[in-house]
Structures are given as C-alpha cells and as structure tokens.
Structure 1
Amino acid sequence: MDLPPSPAQIPRGLLSDPVFVRALADRDFATVLATTHGSGISFNRISEACGIKADRISKVARGEATVTALDTIERIADGLRIPGAFLGLAQRPWEHTSPTPSTESDDGDDPMKRRHILRGALAAGLTGPALTALTSTRQSLDQALAAETPADLSDLEAAAETYGYGYGGQPPTRVLADLVTDFAGIRSLLHTPQPVTTRTRLCRAAGQMAGMAAIVLHDLGARKEARGWFATAGRAARESGDRQLCAWVLAREAMVPLNYGAPRAAASLAEEARHVAGSRPTAAATLAAAVAARAYALSHKPDQAREALTAADQFMERLDGSERADTWLTHGDQKHHVHLSHAFTALGDTHRARESQEQALKLSAPTSSMTRTLLKIDGAACAHHDGDTEQACHRATAALTALPADYRTGLVRKRAMDLYRSIPAQHHQENAMRELRNILAM
C-alpha cells in the first residue's frame, strides 16, 4: 500500500501574515506558492508533499498556470498543512489528529497558537477564513451547552470582566481575536461534569463573552455574524438563569437593526428586553429603555421615544455605583449620554442632543476613538438639522479623518453615510460635500 506523501508544513507565522491570508481567501495560489517557496521550502519539496508535478508548482508560482480544481486545492491544503477554513474548505482530517511530539507546541488547541492565527485571519478583514473560524468557535459552544459540565472558572470570569472595559485603544479586530480565543476555552470546561452552581457561573460568563464578541462584530459592520453570536449569548444567558443578562443581550442585539436601518425591528427587541429586565433600576433595564427611545425616534414615533427616554432617565438616577461603571456590561453616565445624543438628534431636539454630546465627550477616555467619532457625527447631524450643512460636512469629515483606519468601517461609516444621504442633492457639488464623499469612498 502506498503511503501518503509527508507534509511540507509552512512556517506558522505565514498564517498571521495579512497578505498571505488574503491570498488564501482569494485562492491566489501564485502568491501562496511563491510565498511558501520564499520561506525556504523548495518547489520539489512542495511537489512531493502535495502530489503535484514540480514543473506545475513552479508555473503556478510564476503566474503561468492556475489552480481551480477542488482536488488540487485540497492537495495543497493537506501538503502544506493549511487549515481548511483559510481556503474555504471543510476542516481537514489531519486537523482532528493529535500532534506528533515534534509539533506538540504547535497544537491547534493551544490558545496562543489559536490567538495568533485568528489575529492574522482578522487582519485581512472579515473574509471567509476569519468568519469560518468565528462561526466554528461559536457553534462548538452551542453544542457543548447541551451537555452536562464545567470546571473552575475564576480566570474566565476575570477575563470577561476585563473585556467589558472595551477596546482600550486597540483595533476592534485585535480585541475580537483575543476575546474569541479566550471564549473558545469554555468548550473544554463544558466537557467536565461539575456542580450546578459552577455550570451556572460558566454559562453566565459565556453569555457575557459571546455578547461582547457580537458587539465588536456589530461595530465592524458584520451584522449576520453579530446576530449569530447574540443568539449564542442568549442561549447561555437563559441557561444561567440570569434575567438581567438575558435582558442585556436582547437590548444589545436590538442595536444591530437599530444602527443598520431597521428601527421597528429594533424597537420590538428593545421592548422585549424591557419586559425581561422588569421594573427594578438595573443596567439592563436602563439600556433597554435608552435603546427603545432611539428606535422609536428613528421610527418617527416621538411620543413613544420620549416615554422611553423618561424611563431611562428615571432608572439612571436610581442605579447603584456598580451598575454605573463604564463597561460594556453596565450602564455608566458616558454611555447613557451617548444614547441620549443619538435619540435627541433623531428627534430633532438639537439643544438637548448637544448637551448630551458635550457631557459624553467630557466623560469619554481619549482612547474611545469610535464612541467619540459617533458623538461628533451626531453633532454634525445637529448642525445640518439647524441649517448649517457646510459646517455639518466639515465636522463629519474632520471626525473621520482623525479616526484610525481600523475604526473607519462598520457602524462609524454607516452613521456618516446616514448623514450624507440626508443632505439634499442641491448641496452635492459643494466643496465640503465633496470632501465628505471622498473620505467615505476611501
């Protein structure tokens, strides 16, 4: 019986190289093979490992031949030990096997390796390999939640608390890679039988971390993936029995349709969150009321919006100190004014909107790039509403220009586009409008 060819494993660092990862996602095998050869693996070695003639390998690397057949793509994946997700393939059989002693430190279940690979995939954008890896991690937890399990999770709970403090000046994709890597560690805990109280704590932490992964995906504009992670967060929250966490997940999920053009759907989810949260002054109840207010304002229902704003303010006045912390999991004064800014801007109450923008900016850390930019775009929308369209364009352009490139996507771009589209066509040839259009095109 013929033995399968031995692999010519690529250097692991290539899987965190954005150019190489992009080439894999695009199935640009000229770049893939040329880069592999440049890393020190000869064409003959690649040929032997992949079971493809060396002459053909060199031609593909020079761009003189192409690779389109699925069988050939799979041979390259297996020969170079490229995980299937990077090429849009199913997980390869060798990905399930235990490593040999010589590669034990490179185990696919090693958190540091997983973090490194995921960062590289995300650095190339929310493309096939990155989304496949994210979905695989989430679905593995969905399966594990159905089992009886967990173990000690104090480190996991501490990690969830740390992630709750937001981006901290880091690019969203980096935070997402780190968060999902730590989240994947829950799987092993769920496979170890433990007392019910421990499982409850584990599911609560899982709900928090899945919800925060969804928040980052929402900010990046990956709406479908965000909804999937919110669904997982909701399942974990329900199993934990924590009603306030369930309400928080629903309120946060409502912000996906709210910020991406479906305010009526957002209002429905926000009202469900308000019902689940109940009448006690909690962070989740306050958030749900604030999100409902924004959804009603965008749906042109000012009476319902103002009722929800009143409820949010009343809850806010009664929140205790721990619930008012400035994290994703709580509802601090800065976050409250961010919601009020958007709601009052949508209602056309520019005086109160500016008051909230001023307060939120005072309370925002200098590293809160995304939040500060959204507030400035709200301010630009207020200027347009009050008749100074030129100033509105200048302010929006300045806010986007000052923003790091990693943040100038998703929600920020959507909010700026909403402003752009609200400006009548008669202004479209003015210099300020052209500047805004140009930076949005970038």
Structure 2
Amino acid sequence: MDDLPPSPAQVPPRLLHDPAFVQATRDRDFTALFAMAHSNGVSYYRISEASGIKPQRVSMIARGEATVTTLDTIERVADALRIPGALLGLAARPWEHSSPMPHPESPDDGDDPMNRRQLLRGALAAGLTGPALTALTDTRQSLDLALAADTAPADLSDLEAAAETYGYGYHGQAPTRVLADLAGDFAELRPLLGTPQPVATRIRVCRTAGQMAGMVAIVLHDLGARKDARAWFATATTAASESGDDQLLAWVLAREAMVPLNYGAPQAASVLAEQARQAAGNRPTAAATLAAAVAARAYALSHQPEQARQALAAAEAFMERLDAGARADTWLTHGEQKHHVHLSHALTALGDTRRARESQDRALELSAPTSTMTRSLLTIDAAACVHHDGDTEEACRRTVAVLDGLPEAYRAGLVHRRALDLYRSIPAQRHREGAVRELGDVLAA
C-alpha cells in the first residue's frame, strides 16, 4: 500500500509514549486526548480539518461537553491524530502498514513551533502561492477558534457569581466558615487554568481567581494569619496581572497594603498603597478610592501627617464622584460605610478626634448589626480617641468591654492587634493603673 500523506493533526511522536496519553487512548477519553494534543501544539482547527468533525464540536469534546461514541468517528480521530489502532482498541489502521511506531526521541512533526515556523517561511519564500496561503489561513483559523467567545466552560459563570456573593462579606458567619467555602470554590478554578481555554475565557478565569484569592487573603488577614495572607495576595496579584484588569490589580495591592498596615509596618504599607494608586490611575474608581484611603492610614501611622492629609483629600474627592455601582457595600467595591471605617482609623492616628468621631458614628450607623468585626474596630478607634483626649482609663474600659463581648472566632487577629496598638500607646508608667492593667491582662490572655 502506498504511503498516506501525513495528517495535519498528527500528534508529536513523543506523546504516543506519554503514560497519561496512552491511558486516555485506552479509556477512549477524547476530552483528555484533544486537550493534550492541543497543549502539544495541535490546533483544534487542524483536528477538525483532519477528522471531519465540526470545529465547534471539537472544542466541545475538548471541554467535556460532548463525547465520541460511534466507531466511525473513533476511527476518524485515530487517523487524524495518527494514533495506532491498538491503543484505541481498533484494528491496525491502513497507514500503520507503512508507518512504523515512532520512537519517543524522534523529531517532532510540523506542529512543533520551530518546524511550523520553518515550513511557513519556506512556503512564503515562493510567494503568495496556494500552499503559502493555506498555511497562513491555518494559522489564522487556529487562533480564531481559540478566541471564540462561546467556548467558555458552563461552570465559570457559577464561579463568577460565587465570587460576587463572597464579596458581600461575612454576614454574621464565622470567618473560618467563609474561608472554607471560599477556598473550596477557588480550588474549582484550577482545572479551568490547567486546560486550553479561549483568550476571553482565560481572562475571565484569571479575573475570578484574582478576586477569590484576594478575598481568601482578606479573611486570613482578619484572622491574624499574616504570612498566609501575604502568600494569597501574591497569588491574587499574579492572577490580576494576567487578567489585564488594572482596577483589580489596584484593589489587590491596596488590600495587601492593609496587612503591614494593621500589623505594625506602616511604611511598607505606604509603598504598596502607592503602587495601588499608580495602577488605579486618576479616574474615580472604587480601587482608586480605596488605595488613597489606605495610603492615608499608612502615612498617618508613619507620622507623615502632610502626606496623610493629601491622601485623605484624594480619597474624599474620589468618593464624591463614585457611581452607584462602585459605592455598593462589598469587599470588591468601596461603599460609604467602608470609606468611613478607613477615615476613622486615619483621623484617629492623626489625632483629629472630632472628625474621627464623625466618621465612626457614620460608619456605625451604616454597619449591619451582624458586622461584628467592623463594629468592634470602630469602637476601639473611638476608645483611642478618648485616650487621646485624656481619659485613658475610660478608653481601656471600653476596649476591654469589646474584647469580652466578642465570640472566640473574632478575639484574635485584627481586633486584638488594634486593641494592642491602643495599649502600647499608653505610657509604660501607667500600665499598673487598674483599667490599664486589666486591658493588658485581657490582651495577654
């Protein structure tokens, strides 16, 4: 029998010796076969062209949304990918009689990027002839398939909706419960990143991954797991950068700045906050407003009052121009309640107790009764204002009352740190006074 021409979708010879690929052929798992072929340089368009299966169906099979069951189709796939019949439980294919099983170290075929480039150059060297135009068309159409907007996995929309739901915060749930649910849904994004996706879909996956990783980091930060929070923020930064969403990147950086801000490194926080401001730009967005507010807090705690006031002014100016969507009360946006929480801390650190109390009162007015952590932080800020105005014992009594009234899940982490900051701001010679000593004992416990 004469040699058959090589298939345009022939898989690289080494793949026929890959244990995972071989197992997929034995299981007739065409989702895995198509995905592995694609990840090794064989476009879905070439598979479609060589097998006679419509391009849309090839993409659906690769995503697991369709199957290959008929013997005729299985044989066409075997011939298209040049998979020996024995691997798929078929008789030897006609082309096998003259084409020995390739060795895994044999050179790759024309789907290797370098070989493909050389073939294209060779075809074009003769001018815009039929072969050259065919090669160019194949290159373009393979990318068209990858850019197809209707190939997004069905469960991606569910995960995007889940990210939006998590953005509404704790809603009275223990942080550890929210963390478990968030991490579980985040894990479901991994398979979507591990398989070939259209460009538009990958952007959506990366954006959702950035949001979820950022929110996992927020919960870890609230629970006091500083090192783990920073690691999750790093993941969120990578995902946000890959998504190309500058506002998401700015949000992640601003949120990350709150880790060193709340745990004793305000100068490091100011660096991150300024990076967030640069990423967000000068438009009135939720991320730009958040970044300016966090920068104000960082500068206030770093004893840089002028920079703090400038950042506060920028945050206020942005806030006045935010649209209704950006003002929603979620972790991913910048609502009025959240804005006053940031102002409360910055103004308290600046010693501007009158304006700080105004922000505390407004934030408490806007906070739901179930906002346990936020209300606790605002109360401790108010106690710090009382201390600044001269009644240190009353400040300590209020802070002890907050700590004693908290559920166990909320006593560590951020609330503990804010109370500890107040205690440390009290001169050491006063630490033996009754209310001050009681606060020290509660914190030590």
**TM-score range normalised by the length of the shorter chain:** 0.5 to 0.7
Give the drift of 1:430.
2.0
Residue identity in the other structure for 1:379? A
Residue identity in the other structure for 2:374? T
Residue identity in the other structure for 2:193? L
User: Partner of 2:258 in structure 1?
Assistant: 255
Residue number among 378, 388, 391 corresponding to 2:391 in the alignment = 388
Secondary structure of 1:423's counterpart equals: coil
Give the drift of 1:428.
1.7
Residue number among 343, 348, 353 corresponding to 2:346 in the alignment = 343
Give the drift of 1:379.
0.5
Matches within 5 A, 1:2-21: none
8 Å CA contact 1:348, 1:382 repeated in 2:
yes
Deviations 1:138-179 (A, max 9, x none): xxxxxxxxxx99733110001001110111111111111110
Deviations 1:27-83 (A, max 9, x none): xxxxxxxxxxxxxxxxxxxxxxxxxxxxxxxxxxxxxxxxxxxxxxxxxxxxxxxxx
Q: Distance in 1 between matches of 2:357 and 2:284?
A: 26
8 Å CA contact 1:151, 1:190 repeated in 2:
no
Number of aligned residue pairs: give it: 295
Secondary structure of 1:323's counterpart equals: coil
Q: Distance in 2 between matches of 1:194 and 1:270?
A: 33
Q: Give me the CA root mean square deviation.
A: 1.3
User: Partner of 2:76 in structure 1?
Assistant: none
Q: Distance in 1 between matches of 2:406 and 2:424?
A: 21
Residue identity in the other structure for 1:191? G
User: Partner of 2:297 in structure 1?
Assistant: 294
Secondary structure of 1:305's counterpart equals: helix
User: Partner of 2:108 in structure 1?
Assistant: none
Alignment partner of 1:185 is 2:188: yes
Residue number among 300, 308, 311 corresponding to 1:308 in the alignment = 311
Q: Distance in 2 between matches of 1:394 and 1:267?
A: 32
User: Partner of 1:204 in structure 2?
Assistant: 207
Residue identity in the other structure for 2:243? S
8 Å CA contact 1:150, 1:202 repeated in 2:
no
Residue number among 361, 364, 370 corresponding to 2:373 in the alignment = 370
User: Partner of 1:92 in structure 2?
Assistant: none
Residue number among 260, 264, 267 corresponding to 1:264 in the alignment = 267
Q: Distance in 2 between matches of 1:290 and 1:154?
A: 32
Residue number among 152, 160, 165 corresponding to 2:163 in the alignment = 160
8 Å CA contact 1:151, 1:192 repeated in 2:
no
User: Partner of 1:151 in structure 2?
Assistant: 153
Secondary structure of 1:328's counterpart equals: coil
Residue identity in the other structure for 1:151? P
Secondary structure of 1:342's counterpart equals: helix
Secondary structure of 1:398's counterpart equals: helix
| Runs of 4+ off more than 6 Å | none
Q: Distance in 1 between matches of 2:305 and 2:433?
A: 33
Secondary structure of 2:439's counterpart equals: helix
Q: Distance in 1 between matches of 2:152 and 2:432?
A: 61
User: Partner of 1:284 in structure 2?
Assistant: 287
User: Partner of 1:19 in structure 2?
Assistant: none
Residue identity in the other structure for 2:376? T
Q: Distance in 1 between matches of 2:429 and 2:295?
A: 34
Residue number among 230, 234, 247 corresponding to 2:233 in the alignment = 230
Secondary structure of 1:321's counterpart equals: coil
* Structure 1: 5+ residue stretches without partners: 1-147
Deviations 1:242-299 (A, max 9, x none): 0000000000000011111111111011011001100000000000000000000001
Deviations 1:335-381 (A, max 9, x none): 00000000000000000000000000000011110011000110111
Q: Distance in 1 between matches of 2:163 and 2:336?
A: 21
Residue identity in the other structure for 2:355? R
User: Partner of 1:213 in structure 2?
Assistant: 216
Residue identity in the other structure for 1:347? L
Q: Distance in 2 between matches of 1:244 and 1:319?
A: 14
Secondary structure of 1:229's counterpart equals: helix
TM-score, normalised with respect to structure 1: 0.66
Larger radius of gyration: 2
Matches within 5 A, 1:395-434: 395-434=398-437
User: Partner of 1:172 in structure 2?
Assistant: 175
8 Å CA contact 1:383, 1:392 repeated in 2:
yes
Q: Distance in 1 between matches of 2:378 and 2:221?
A: 17
User: Partner of 1:245 in structure 2?
Assistant: 248
Deviations 1:287-320 (A, max 9, x none): 0000000000001111100000000000000000
* Structure 2: 5+ residue stretches without partners: 1-145
Q: Distance in 1 between matches of 2:429 and 2:303?
A: 25
8 Å CA contact 1:150, 1:192 repeated in 2:
no
Give the drift of 1:403.
1.2
Q: Distance in 1 between matches of 2:302 and 2:441?
A: 30
Q: Distance in 2 between matches of 1:221 and 1:172?
A: 11
Secondary structure of 1:232's counterpart equals: helix
Q: Distance in 2 between matches of 1:372 and 1:425?
A: 28
8 Å CA contact 1:354, 1:379 repeated in 2:
yes
TM-score, normalised with respect to structure 2: 0.65
Q: Distance in 1 between matches of 2:379 and 2:241?
A: 37
